[in-house]
């Protein structure tokens, strides 16, 4: 009985190692790192498709579409720069920063005549 139990446990633990090792190898030592570029491209493609549909429906103009694309690129760059800063902030500081970012985004959208509900799909 003990022999079977040890064999099953060894098999299960080795199975876990076999599935983790390729993830580390593909991510150059960090799990999931190989997916970041692909995930960003998928989000960018989805955004482009959605914005083009809004232009086709007449809900936004082509100029607004360009403004939105530029804003999303700048927000992405800004988030990448803030990653290291956020590690040293408390939960309250992060919450305040997110609220400020959202207020800035809402004022930007208002200045450019863009309804954020069309882009994000939320009601606020």
pTM of the model: 0.63
The pLDDT tens digits of the residues spanning 57-95 come to: 999 999 999 999 999 989 888 888 777 777 888 889 989
Rounded to the nearest 5 degrees, what angle is found at the Cα of 95, between the Cα atoms of 91 and 101? 145
**Residue 71: burial class (beta carbons within 10 Å; 0-12, 13-18, 19+):** middle
Centre a 10 Å sphere on the Cβ of residue 123 and count the other Cβ atoms it contains: 6
Locate the domains of the chain by residue range: 1-31, 35-120
CB of 114 closer than 8 Å to CB of 68: yes
Q: Which residue has the tokens 């079977």?
A: 4
pLDDT at 43 > cutoff 60: yes
* pLDDT in the model for residue 17: 42
* Average pLDDT in the chain: 75
| pLDDT band for position 37 (cuts 50, 70, 90) | low
């Amino acid at each position: 009985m003990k022999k079977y139990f040890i064999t099953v446990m060894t098999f299960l633990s080795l199975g876990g190692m076999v599935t983790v090792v390729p993830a580390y190898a593909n991510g150059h030592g960090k799990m999931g790192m190989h997916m970041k570029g692909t995930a960003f491209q998928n989000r960018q493609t989805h955004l482009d498709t959605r914005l083009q549909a809004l232009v086709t429906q007449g809900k936004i103009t082509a100029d607004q579409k360009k403004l939105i694309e530029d804003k999303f690129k700048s927000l992405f760059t800004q988030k990448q720069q803030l990653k290291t800063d956020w590690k040293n902030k408390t939960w309250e500081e992060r919450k305040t920063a997110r609220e400020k970012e959202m207020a800035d985004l809402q004022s930007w959208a208002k200045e450019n005549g863009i309804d954020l509900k069309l882009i994000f799909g939320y009601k606020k």
